[in-house]
Amino acid sequence: MGCSDCHGCRTVEGGCFITMYNDLFSIGPVTFHTYGLMTAIGIIAAYLMMERRAKQKHFTEAERGKTLGLILFCLIFGYVGSKLLYVLTILPQLMQDPSVFLQSLTGGWVIFGGLLGGIFGAWLFCRLQKLPAGKYFDLAFPAVALAQAFGRVGCFFAGCCYGVETDSAFSIVFRHSDFAPNHVHLVPTQLISAVLDLVLCLFLLWYEKNREKCSGELAAMYLILYSAGRFVLEFWRGDLERGAVGPLSTSQFIGLFTLLAGIILFAVLRMRTPLKEKKSGETAHEEA
C-alpha cells in the first residue's frame, strides 16, 4: 500500500513500513492499547447511531430506552461466543498445554463467534423484553457494521488478523507487531475489512431507505453481504493458526451457513410481503 511519508510510517520498496505501536500508555501493570481504544470508539459510535436511527424511525421513548440493554446483551454474549469459538480453534494446543486457556482469556477472539453470540444475545434480550426482534435487529445491524469497521482499524494497529505475504505494492510491513510477522510485505486485510464494513454500513442505510419492504430485511442483507465478503477475503488471511475445516478456514466454513441463513431469511421475508400488501389492499377495498 503506497502512502506519503507521515508520522510513524514511511514507504519502502513499494509498500508501507509501519512503525507505530499498539501500546498507548501504561498505568502500573495495566497497559492501554490502540486496539481497545478503537473497539471502545466503535461501540460508542454504534450506540449513538442506534439512538439517532431510533428517533428517525419514530421509536417511542420507552422503546429507545431498550437500546442500551440490547447493546449490553450483544456485548456480553458476543464476547462469550468469540471466546468459545477461539477456544475451539486452539483445542489441540489446549490438550497439550491447559495453561494456554488462561492466556486466551486476555487475547484471542473469533469475529464470527462474536457475531453469532451477539445475535443470540439480541434475540434473547428481545425475547425477555417481549420486543419485536426484527425491528430491533434492523436497528442494530448497520451499527454493528460500523463498530466492526472501527474494530478492524484496531486490528491494523495491533497487527492481528494479518494477510498473507505478497510481492504487490499494495502491502504493509510491520516492525513491532506481537502478532503479524515483522519485516515482511503483507496484504493489508485489516484495512480492507474496515473499508468493506464501512461500505456495508452505508449500503444497509441506503437499502433501508430505498428498498426495504418489511422488518428483518436489513438483518438478512447483513448476513448475506458480510458472509460473502468475509468468505472471499479469507483467501488472503495469513493467520492460519485460527484453524480450518477441510480446505476452508473456520470463518469460511461458518460463513457458508450464515450466508445460507441470510438468503433463506430474505426469501421468507420477501414471500410474506405480497401477502401483507394483498391483505392491506383487500382491507382498503372493503372499507370503500
For the chain, domain boundaries: 9-279
Give the model's pLDDT for residue 178.
80
What backbone torsions phi and psi does residue 151 show, to the nearest 5 degrees?
-60, -40
Burial of 155 (0-12, 13-18, 19+ CB in 10 A): buried
pLDDT band at 13 (very low <50, low <70, confident <90, very high): low
Question: Of 177, 146, 191, 194, whose CA–CA distance to 41 is shortest?
Answer: 146
- Which position has the grid cell 499498539? 22
CB 68 within 8 A of CB 191: no
| Each residue's pLDDT tens digit, 228-264 | 999 999 999 998 777 788 899 989 999 999 999 999 9
Rounded to the nearest integer, the mean pLDDT of the chain is 83
| Each residue's pLDDT tens digit, 135-147 | 999 999 999 999 9
> All 3 cell numbers of residue 190?
485489516
Q: What is the pTM of this model?
A: 0.83
User: Per residue in 50-75, is it b (16+ CB within 10 Å) or e — as a string?
Assistant: bbebbeeeebeeebeebbeebbebbb
Give the model's pLDDT for residue 94.
67
Q: How many CB atoms lie under 10 A from the CB of residue 27?
A: 7
| Each residue's pLDDT tens digit, 33-76 | 788 899 999 999 999 999 999 999 999 999 999 999 999 999 99
Helix, strand, or coil here: 259?
A: helix
pLDDT band at 179 (very low <50, low <70, confident <90, very high): confident
